[in-house]
Amino acid sequence: MKPVFKLGLCAIMATGLVACSGGVEQRRQAKDDFGYLQTTPLSQWKTLPEQAPYFSTNYQIPEQDFKGEIGKNVDIRPPRQVLDLVPGARIERDSRGVTIAVANEKQLAQLWQTVEGLAEDEAIPVVAQTADQIETGWIAWEKEDSAHQARFRLSRLEQGRRFALGVNMIESRAKANDEPLTPALRERYNTLMTNVITVSHDAALRAEARRLAEQRQSDIPISFGSDRSGLPVIIARAPYDVVWEKLPAIIEPLGFSVESRNQSQGTVKTRHVAPSDERWQALSVEPISFPDNSYTLLLGDLGNRTSLNVTNSDGKPVDEATLKALSPALKAVIAKRNQVASP
């Protein structure tokens, strides 16, 4: 195992926003002058003789010892945020690191399984490992910050009815002696390490959801109707999570390519390019008059059923005739998929 392990930014930058383009130093340091450092210190306010002093507290500066960087040592990059990818988790941060508190022992076991998987796959280097704790080797956050390397302790924490995963930096070293590890950088590196875990855990949960969706229901009955407001809507007679996982593969033969989607909001942003006549003939349905454009599919959770609607690039619902024509097309694709899956 190499003494220094570099985590590629492809695994990290997918977990957060990039502050801006350009080199590392441009992201970390301000470019303007630092003349404010030469500002004359504050002095005691002097009143005129026999003048009754009056002071407003609106602009009063508290008198205490403020600790922090000044001048070129100020890191101007936006702070890293722990990505909220663990369902129901509560994120706690302190000077030592990050704690992901979960609801129960089962959820903690799944989270710890993710950590062990990262160690087993050598996605993170390991120096020491027990059933409830892993100490990593040296990690360099490639391109994120090349000045420091760090080691972390990942701990499975159980005390009474409290279940949590702890991520704490235990050691750091700088390439240059004049490069101090500030509290802000410590917090940043702890966050980066935490996000490696949460992103991997989210990917594992999604993969498991897809597997279960395939097992639970192969046929999804489709019908056309109206919602409680009387507006036209397509009804899929299957639970929301099943339809959510299967939908991209179902709409792909109809010319829809998924660009992004948000499961909590039930939105699937797509781009439509009309399929060939041969594809419509293979499905034995009439072509749908969807102009080539961007569309958003809206899914609603109705318990054991799922509603489906479509809006155009302006956010307006497509007309009833178009939505009604989409219903048999979805049926045809589902039937075709089931035929292929059947032995």
Kindly give the pairing relationship between strand 4-7 and strand 138-141: parallel
Q: How confident is the model at residue 10 (pLDDT cuts 50, 70, 90)?
A: very low
What is the secondary structure of 305-338 as a DSSP string?
-EEEEEE-TTSPBPPHHHHHHHHHHHHHHHHHHH
Q: What's the pLDDT at 341?
A: 59
Map out the domains of the chain as residue ranges: 1-12+80-216, 222-341
Q: How confident is the model at residue 148 (pLDDT cuts 50, 70, 90)?
A: confident
> Helix and strand tally (H, E) in the chain?
7, 14
For the beta carbon of residue 200, count every other beta carbon within 10 angstroms.
21
What are the residues whose beta carbons fall under 8 Å from the beta carbon of 268, sequence distance 6 or more?
247, 248, 258, 260, 261, 296, 297, 299
Q: Is the pLDDT of residue 194 over 90?
A: yes
Tokens 């500030």 belong to 182
> pTM of the full predicted structure?
0.58
Q: Give the span between the Cα atoms of 83 and 195, in whole angstroms.
A: 6
Q: Is the pLDDT of residue 288 over 70?
A: yes
Q: How confident is the model at residue 25 (pLDDT cuts 50, 70, 90)?
A: very low
Q: Is the pLDDT of residue 218 over 80?
A: no
Q: Which amino acid is at 254?
A: L
Q: How confident is the model at residue 170 (pLDDT cuts 50, 70, 90)?
A: very high
Q: Does domain 222-341 bear CATH number 3.30.310.170?
A: yes
Lowest mean pLDDT among 12-21, 120-129, 172-181, 252-261: 12-21
Q: Is the pLDDT of residue 2 over 70?
A: no
Q: Give the span between the Cα atoms of 158 and 168, in whole angstroms.
A: 16
Asked whether the beta carbons of 300 and 244 are under 8 A apart, the reply is: no
SS percent in the chain: helix, strand, coil, step 5: 35, 25, 40
Lowest mean pLDDT among 51-60, 83-92, 95-104, 291-300: 51-60
Q: What is the mean pLDDT of the chain?
A: 83
Sheet with 232-236, side-by-side order of all strands = 222-226, 232-236, 306-311, 293-301, 267-272, 256-262
Q: Give the span between the Cα atoms of 201 and 114, in whole angstroms.
A: 6
What are the residues whose beta carbons fall under 8 Å from the beta carbon of 43, sequence distance 6 or more?
none
Q: What's the pLDDT at 27?
A: 55
Q: Is the pLDDT of residue 210 over 90?
A: no
Q: How confident is the model at residue 53 (pLDDT cuts 50, 70, 90)?
A: confident
Q: Give the span between the Cα atoms of 13 and 102, in whole angstroms.
A: 25
Q: Does domain 1-12+80-216 bear CATH number 3.90.1150.10?
A: no
